[in-house]
Structure 1
């Protein structure tokens, strides 16, 4: 195999999950292929029980591997590069990508599933992304179909996915719960400096750590600069908060970047749209980027819990 073989499988029971994942990993082990599991605790326990504890499978805690999409991409690329440099002709990965059924916001993980088709394309990797139909929302399953070129309809089958659509996932923008309140700050076509000053004043009484407070000011300044530089005016800035968390949105009338890697990986193309978007994805607790009837919106959340 050359390049990234990105495959999904849907399952509705633990036995069904094992029927997909166990032969996939066992075949890789028999072929001497580096094989990795980055699943949630329950699925990891199922695989350890089925495969035995003395196999050569590498287990990576799913919660750590999938903390943020940009970090997952960087970590996997480093791992794949190491195995390729050591002579691996193919690698296998089974990973539980987070979604609302697991308590995680979906938008940036939908973009991750689209982006990895490019981000891992240089490596000979077979990636299996199983999704539990008992807990995965229907709109997430629809995005999964659109972002995976290959699908395992039944255990042991590996087919081109007719529902795959190249490019960005079509996940809808979901406002944060804090956005039901009136914004603490609302500015139109502001300078980055005026945004930094307004944000610094607004968050002064909020229980943020020093690092989180710095990240809020940086994020606000960066996404306003990005909107003014690459978007279409008017550029609308808004900020909401509670006692421990801040949400910032910037909306412009443009269409936003077309590159699925924008913000998720620092490439030559994405750098032209601002290195700051990538830094946001490495520092903020959540970043959403997408289009709706109001235009293109970047949304970030920092501090506390969503």
Structure 2
């Protein structure tokens, strides 16, 4: 097995400037806890690397199968693989993965500001496939989310079948439809020239399917969001990208991502966000009896304290 020299590294991870297949061939068998891939979608997009993003369907799928084979090989037993792509490609690629791994979920991630397509239904989601090597994942810590509340009064938008008072104070179970992921690829939100995924998306995947110290793999580094999420939460990471300038620049200016991640962690694994608690207090909305607190904002800070401390301790 050939070796490569990383173009950039930290105490926790390293990235290689190489094509995905060549890089993956250097990764040892069954060493990865979590593998994530966000490949080009073969939509004819122009990349600065000059790769051809408009090839025949059979060529694209054959190429995808090559790097998927390598990713499956590198996964530990019980390791998790996530594939981010359009539903069109996730259908055949999911069928291929079914021959090698165990299917867990097709997660639909809501697209914001998508444009309509003539003579077709309005496209409204990306597909996030979730597979595991073996019968069940070795690591599985899904986020719990705040209840959806009115942005004016803070009241719940659902009645939860009369069980509102018995709800878990850490929030509601994560479903397989995610509507709370910001659309960073839209011009309004995008901050980098390289492909960028929302930090909230990658934090959710990384913290769900890995532990601090686990190894996270991403052969399509893009702007480095996977690596940043892993770094800030104490995971080891490894990956590749054809041109790593955006990744290196991002790691040299991590303060914004660190602050953003603290905000993300402040609003998960709790029943009400800080903003919703303030609205409820202002409008006299009672809290469920299971959510026993004396001071709303103080309790929110306590619930979030573990996450905030963990992020700080990884630096």
Q: Structures share a fold, TM > 0.5?
A: no
> Highest relative contact order (Cα 8 Å, sep 6+), 1 or 2?
2
TM-score by length of 1: 0.34
TM-score by length of 2: 0.33
Q: Structure 1 or 2: larger helix share?
A: 1
